[in-house]
């Protein structure tokens, strides 16, 4: 048995387990990232031109009515 094949299956199992674990929290992670980006960008010139503050407020109201 070569060393490459010796480590291939355990590595594949580890990677697969890691991917499945992140799939469980994908939506929540994306929502968190979106909120953080909106909070960071709302006070920039781009954020003011594109009403990011208002968008963030609407998103938060939808989640917490």
Q: Is the pTM of this model over 0.85?
A: no
* Cα–Cα dist 54/58, whole Å: 6
| Domain boundaries of the chain, sorted by first residue | 25-65
Residue 20 is predicted with a pLDDT of 94
* Cα–Cα dist 7/43, whole Å: 49
Tell me the two tokens of residue 64: 């917490």
Residue 13 is predicted with a pLDDT of 94
Residue 50 is predicted with a pLDDT of 85
Q: Which of 63, 62, 59 has its CA nearest to residue 37?
A: 59
Per-position pLDDT tens, the chain of length 65 = 688 888 999 999 999 999 999 999 999 999 899 889 988 988 889 888 888 888 888 887 887 66
């Amino acid at each position: 048995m070569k060393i490459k094949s010796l480590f291939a299956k355990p590595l594949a199992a580890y990677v697969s387990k890691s991917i499945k674990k992140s799939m469980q929290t994908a939506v929540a992670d994306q929502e968190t990232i979106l909120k953080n980006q909106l909070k960071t960008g709302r006070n920039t010139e781009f954020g003011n031109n594109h009403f990011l503050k208002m968008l963030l407020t609407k998103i938060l109201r939808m989640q917490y009515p």
